[in-house]
Structure 1
């Protein structure tokens, strides 16, 4: 059994190892917005429901529907969890399809679950860029400082909003 001090020390060593690996790849921050395990389970249930529907025709059709339905839903879950948020060493923020240089970015604020919900619903600006994943309750709001860009801010779902906001705020502008 480990003590709280040993656990904290191992987390710090893990964070240091992650930071070293990121800097080796020319990244200051990286986060992939992977889908949770429950989405994979729902995909399996989708394949199973297709198999039950096709069981009326024959067991072979049922097996084919199970395999095809599970594979298709697995591909959909994989694609939905593919977006990446990166801050590259050259000062570029890449979030999904948006790529902005540090000179176009303003300040970043880490949002708690309540503030995140407000910003993606009734306080949302329709011109904003949203990299939104409903299974991630926290987010970061990054102001866009470029006067020629009509996008007022980026809303980025993040499991580590404080780290992402700190990394954005640390960029040289």
Structure 2
């Protein structure tokens, strides 16, 4: 039997992030169509628009989850007992965490359309990663799940 999930969040791309890439894909297809008229004129639309849809879906498929005694961010996971101090950044203060204060060895999963960010230090001396820095929409719920 699997352990219960105490926190789960998907960092999906919001509705306002979809029209511009889809319009750009359609315009690119139209430009290719103008250069190669004829029977194959539908081919650029068949390639670029689904490719843009796939890219948007893939960008929004990242999950943040606490379950089974582990924190999972995307494909990465770490046991909760190896986590140290938790620091929450709002949309305005995350700029410093992502800029001059960012350690190059840190694990980072940033989604620009998600405002808050969480920084969690790792206490594992064998792990060269000093901390995880990742986007999350509900940082308070995540912190509560990590403590509980």
Question: Is the Cα contact below 8 Å between 1:110 and 1:141 reproduced in 2?
Answer: yes
Q: Which moved more, 1:70-79 or 1:157-166?
A: 157-166
Q: Which runs of 5+ in 1 are unaligned?
A: 1-23
Stretch deviating more after TM superposition (44-53 or 57-66): 57-66
Unaligned 5+ segments in structure 2 are none
Q: Deviations over 1:13-45 (max 9, x none)?
A: xxxxxxxxxxx9820000111112233212311
Corresponding residue number in structure 1 for 2:136: 158
Task: Normalising by structure 2, report the TM-score.
Answer: 0.88
Q: Moved runs in structure 1, 4+ residues, more than 6 A?
A: none
Greater RCO (Cα-Cα under 8 Å, separation 6 or more): 2
RMSD of equivalent CA atoms: 1.9
Task: Name the one with the larger helix percent.
Answer: 1
| Partner Cα separation in structure 2 for residue 60 and residue 134 of structure 1 | 40
Distance apart, 1:59 and its partner CA: 5.9
* Residues 93 and 101, structure 1, Cα contact 8 Å, conserved in 2: yes
Instruction: Report the alpha carbon displacement of residue 102 of structure 1 after superposing the two structures with TM.
Output: 1.4
1:50 paired residue number: 28
**Could you state the TM-score of these two structures normalised by the residue count of structure 1?**
0.76
2 CA distance for matches of 1:163 and 1:45? 36
**Cα distance in 2, alignment partners of residues 76 and 58 from structure 1:** 27
Q: Number of residue pairs matched?
A: 146
